Amino acid sequence: MLNPPDPAIVARIAETLRRARRLLFITGAGISADSGLPTYRGIGGLYNDQATEENFSIETALSGSMLEANPAITWKYLHQIENSCRGARFNDAHAIIAEWQDRFEVCVLTQNIDGFHRDAGSRNLIEMHGDIHDLLCTRCDYAATVPDYSELDMPPSCPRCHARVRPRVVLFGEVLPSGAIQHLYRELDQGFDLVFSIGTTSVFPYIAGPVVQASQMGVPTVEINPTDTNVTRFVDYKLASSAAASLRAIREALLNAA
């Protein structure tokens, strides 16, 4: 069981928040742990270092090249990941971030493909790795959002042109969406008064970079993660607790001091 958030650190974060206007939240799988989701290893999680039933690494099974060569394999494991999300919903951490849009200018940069930030109401949202519920045809302009994959044939095909369908996610070996990257650059150019890193090990440069850059520029930084990560040494405030418990404590401290 995780320790509760340190009240002294929570109070200092709340004090910093009271002086802030623009906030950046960078989130990874850990923010969805309180929703009952596994903390994924990349997009492929659930598997740790195990090979798939076909004796592929999960990175190979969930790669763009595998989707092209053998879509049934890629969709098999996409279906397993989607099934692990099915029936879950956003938690207090997602909700509090969305709630703070009424008080601050909030930008959310997430690696998660569960769609919880969108469901919670976050508007200025950069889904760097996409959303597993959004489907796109690889030939025509067909697009759809499906609540779960149980209604799909596997592997699914386009109802219009019968070509291959894919989820709007970044598979292994694929490039990041240029629109999301440009969105992030525009937000970073405007600057932030406080940067949160929540539930991510920050292994990717585009996830760690904004935290490191903020630290170098003297912008306050917060990490919420039970373990140390690639950015821990750069942050001003560290809460080694769950995302939901930490953000509830910060919200309470912020309200009590108002």
pLDDT tens column, 201-242: 999 999 999 999 999 999 999 999 999 999 999 999 999 999
pLDDT value for 250: 98
pLDDT-derived band at 45, boundaries 50, 70, 90: very low
Fold match between domain 7-35+90-129+175-256 and domain 58-86+135-169 = no
Check: CB of residue 49 under 8 Å from CB of residue 57: no
When pLDDT is averaged across residues 21-26 and rounded to a whole number, the result is 98
Helix (H) or strand (E) holding 223: strand 221-224
| pLDDT at position 36 | 83
| 26 vs 149 pLDDT, higher one | 26
* Position 122 pLDDT exceeds 70: yes
Domain 7-35+90-129+175-256 adopts which CATH fold?
Rossmann fold (3.40.50)
**Which amino acid is it at 154?**
M
pLDDT at 16: 97
Q: Which residues pair with 24 in a beta bridge?
A: 107, 195
Counting residues of the chain whose pLDDT is more than 70, the rounded percentage is: 94
pLDDT value at residue 238: 97
Confidence of residue 155 (pLDDT cuts 50, 70, 90): very high
Q: Are 221 and 237 in contact (CB under 8 A)?
A: yes
Q: Residue 42's pLDDT band (boundaries 50, 70, 90)?
A: very low
Over range 178-186, report the average pLDDT.
Answer: 97
pLDDT at position 118 over 50: yes
Once rounded to an integer, what is the mean pLDDT over residues 2-9?
92
User: Cβ(35)–Cβ(91) under 8 Å?
Assistant: yes
Tell me which fold the domain 58-86+135-169 belongs to.
SIR2/SIRT2 'Small Domain' (3.30.1600)
Predicted local distance difference test score (pLDDT) of residue 82? 86
Domain ranges of the chain: 7-35+90-129+175-256, 58-86+135-169
Whether the per-residue pLDDT at 50 is higher than 90: the answer is: no
The stretch 81-109 carries a mean pLDDT of: 93
| Active-site residue set | 129
Question: How much is the mean pLDDT over the chain?
Answer: 91
157, 165 Cβ separation under 8 angstroms: yes
Q: Which range is least confidently modeled, 54-58, 181-185, 205-209? A: 54-58
Residue 145 confidence (pLDDT) above 60 = yes
pLDDT at 44: 36
